[in-house]
Chains A and B, each alone.
Chain A
Amino acid sequence: MIANKYLIQGFFKNTLLHIFLLTVTISCLFPIFWMVRSSLMSNATIFVDQSLLPHEWNWHNYAVAWTKGNFGVYFFNSLIYTVSVVMGIVIISSLAAFAFSRLKFPGKDALFYMFIAAMMIPLPGSFVPLFVLMNKLHLVNTRFGYILCMINVGLSLSILLLKTFFDKMPSDLEDAARIDGCSRIQIWWHMALPLAAPALAVVVIYNSLNVWNEYILATLLLSDNNLMPLQRGLMVFNGAYQVDYPVLMAGLTMTAIPIVAVYLFMQKHIIKGLSSGAIVG
């Protein structure tokens, strides 16, 4: 009787939990499904046809999005920006975080809090000074200038994440490495970086998403179309008065695919990175 009671309770708990999880899953996936579905419709049917699947599948929208949006050039640019910025952030933030965590130098805390405080400044608030600075450095409308700015945008959070990770790294490991003859930079390279792989995965995916989807700073700093990132291509379909929804959705679908692939590829590390930190080494 008691066993039955527990079985029934367990069944209800499980059912409720699964209904909840199912609801969350549907609410997350439905917009993506709707985006793909809309990308296959035509302008004439998108506002009228309320069915889940389009009656006519309009693959032509993808070809239009690719050619009219000039996606080939923008894909290449976004790829360069994402790889360069993410790598720059990984190198600089891991070095900085390691220094903040392991080295003793005057003004260490003040400098660290300055980095963290930078997170509080919203990006649009720094547009004008950033543009003026880049102009003085003759880096406006150059890939290098945009990459530098984007590295700067991603540094604060990445340093915070990695410093938290390095703080929990046992000092015995560092001592052992030093006994084996490692210099500080070798400790960072041979010991700290490999151990920080899960945290680095979080840094990589977070910043990849950020750079891949960035457009506002690119608009500000770049003028040449050939230097613009992928999001610029999407703007072609988003006019002041009218929006070409099916082609825009096709463009959005194509834009989302690489970043979803990166996320799926790294999700194991991300979950580990977010949940670990207590046990290092």
Chain B
Amino acid sequence: MRRLVSWMFCAVLAGMALGCAQAKKTANEIEVWHWMTDRQDSLQALAERYEQQTGIKVKIALFAPSDSYTQKVIAAAQANVLPDIYGILDKKSIVASFIKAGYVADLTEAFKADNGAWEKRLFAKAINNNRFVEGNVDKVKPGIYGVPLDVSNIQMVYNRALLKRAGIMKPPATFDDFIADAQALRRVGIPPFVTGFGEMWIVDCFASNYAFNIMGEAKVMATFRGEVPYTDPDWIAVFALFKKLADKGVFMEGIVTKGNKYAEQDFALERAAFSFDGSWCVNIYKTMNPGLDYGVLPLPPVSSNFPMRMWDGAGSSLVVNDLSPNKDKAVAFLKWLTAAEQQTYLAEKTNNLPANRDAHRAFTDVLGGFSKVMENTTHPNIWPLNEDPLVVEAFDKGIQAIMIGDETPQQVAGEVQSVKVRQMGRAARP
């Protein structure tokens, strides 16, 4: 026993001796921290290519899962040891606090240089997610503070083989076509539509797509300002869509409690013919069912008054540490990383939609379908104002109640409006 203890004591000393040296960073080296497991190999390969071209070594460090990564970034910020480039996985107010603490560089000048060449080659929506506008609520100096690596958007996907089995030769062009197709699918025993309606953000995304289509962006924003009530006929029409979909048997059983991960599994394994999912699904379906024959289309519009707007995902963005001595080198690397060649490489290897417009030209089929609507996407982050979170919660829960038949569209509209009035009253109090 004691001999074992002695041996182990030596092992401790050896273990400690092996690990006392802290790695030193050279002036020609930049460090990137990220959380994107699926992009690690491609980023590493690009970093090596960059070193060959410029002589600057880029160290790509992956920290996953994202919760651990966030903890590390917060701790490193407090100890003032953030790397040259990193990402902040949090809401805009947290990004604002990093900016105010001096940990995020304002990249506006770099984007505007050479007549705005860098800014022009990236999707405006993707840049806007990293932009703080004049008069922002977080009181951050207006500017662009992050570099988008990729983008995403959320649309409807359909299984060609299942549609064919129900005698449907082309995907639906309108909402009524969609209902008719769903009923045809039901007749041959195929659940028509699945998505993760158990997750509030998907309910919100689906509903706001139709709200933009039925009443247009201006009226939606007017509602947020309290100028149009949720009991307005247009809003009731939005709520009524969910009732119609439920009544006509469009939804797969259990859809209201389903997480998106499980909905993705259902679609990939051909248990449902349609799904509402983000462009990241291309990777997921490829892994689960490489032979899946499917296509993508925007949600079929219910009205021709206003265009259908799709939510884009915020994508993945990186920021530059304002305190880094290698700030310029870091900016140069990000500029290189978002050039068309590198972005095409990243997209080919990872099946994510690149932030660079020119890199989108090569896409065909599904990824191309996601790619071509990028200019017509929207996101709450870039709206001039957002709805109160409690109103959003009442709105989403109300829609879930409609889907399971607990409430009518009119009841939900009334409830949401009463929450809205209450919240506006609170906000108006001095």
Interface residues of A (CB under 8 A from B): 43-44, 47-48, 80-81, 83-84, 86-88, 90-91, 124, 127-128, 130-132, 135-136, 138-147, 189-190, 193-194, 197, 215-216, 219-220, 223-225, 227, 235-236, 238-242, 244
Contact = CB atoms under 8 A, between A and B. Distances in A.
Interface stretch (B45-53, B61-69, B124-132, B408-416): B61-69
Interface in B2-60: 2, 5, 8-9, 11-12, 14-16, 18-23, 31, 33, 35-38, 40
B19 A146 contact: yes
Interface stretch (B98-106, B235-243, B251-259, B285-293): B285-293
A142 B289 contact: no
A132 B290 CA distance: 46
Contact of A43 (B22, B38, B78, B287): B287
Contacts of B36: 240
Contacts of B289: 44
Contacts of A127: 71, 74-75
A224 B23 contact: yes
B370 interface: no
A242 B1 contact: no
Contacts of A124: 71
B21 A240 contact: no
Contact of A84 (B15, B76, B290): B15
A242 B68 contact: no
Given A194-B2, A241-B280, A131 B79 contact: yes
Contacts of A81: 15
B117 interface: no
B284 interface: yes
Residue in A44, A135, A139, A240 whose Cβ sees the most chain B Cβ within 10 Å: A240
Given A80-B19, A90-B5, 10 more contacts: A48-B269, A83-B12, A84-B15, A87-B11, A131-B78, A142-B20, A147-B12, A216-B68, A224-B23, A240-B38
Nearest to A241: B280
Interface string B71-98: 1101110110101000000000000000
Interface string B260-275: 0000010011000000
Main secondary structure of the interface of A (DSSP, over half): helix
B83 to A, nearest CB: 8
Contacts of A224: 23, 61
B16 A236 contact: no
Contact of A143 (B8, B18, B78, B81): B18
A143 B287 contact: no
B140 to A, nearest CB: 23
B174 interface: no
Range of interface residues on chain B? 35 or more
B16 A144 contact: yes
A146 B22 CA distance: 12
B89 to A, nearest CB: 10
B283 interface: yes
A193 B33 CA distance: 45
B75 A241 contact: no
11 contacts: A83-B8, A87-B5, A91-B5, A128-B74, A136-B79, A144-B20, A193-B2, A193-B5, A235-B62, A239-B64, A241-B281
A48 B35 CA distance: 30
A212 to B, nearest CB: 14
Contacts of B40: 236
B35 to A, nearest CB: 7
Contact of B22 (A44, A141, A215): A141
Contacts of B31: 223
Given A235-B64, A240-B35, A240-B38, A84 B11 contact: yes
Nearest to A190: B2
A132 B269 contact: no
Given A47-B269, A240-B37, A220 B283 contact: no
Given A235-B37, A236-B37, A47 B288 contact: yes
Given A220-B71, A240-B35, A143 B15 contact: yes
A83 to B, nearest CB: 5
Given A147-B19, A219-B68, A241 B9 contact: no
Contacts of B71: 124, 127, 216, 219-220
Given A47-B288, A220-B68, A241-B280, A147 B37 contact: no
A81 B9 CA distance: 13
Residue in A223, A225, A241 whose Cβ sees the most chain B Cβ within 10 Å: A241
Nearest to B280: A241
Given A43-B288, A219-B69, A131 B75 contact: yes
B19 A142 contact: yes
A141 B16 CA distance: 13
A223 B283 CA distance: 28
A227 B19 contact: yes
A146 B15 CA distance: 11
Nearest to B67: A216
Nearest to A219: B68
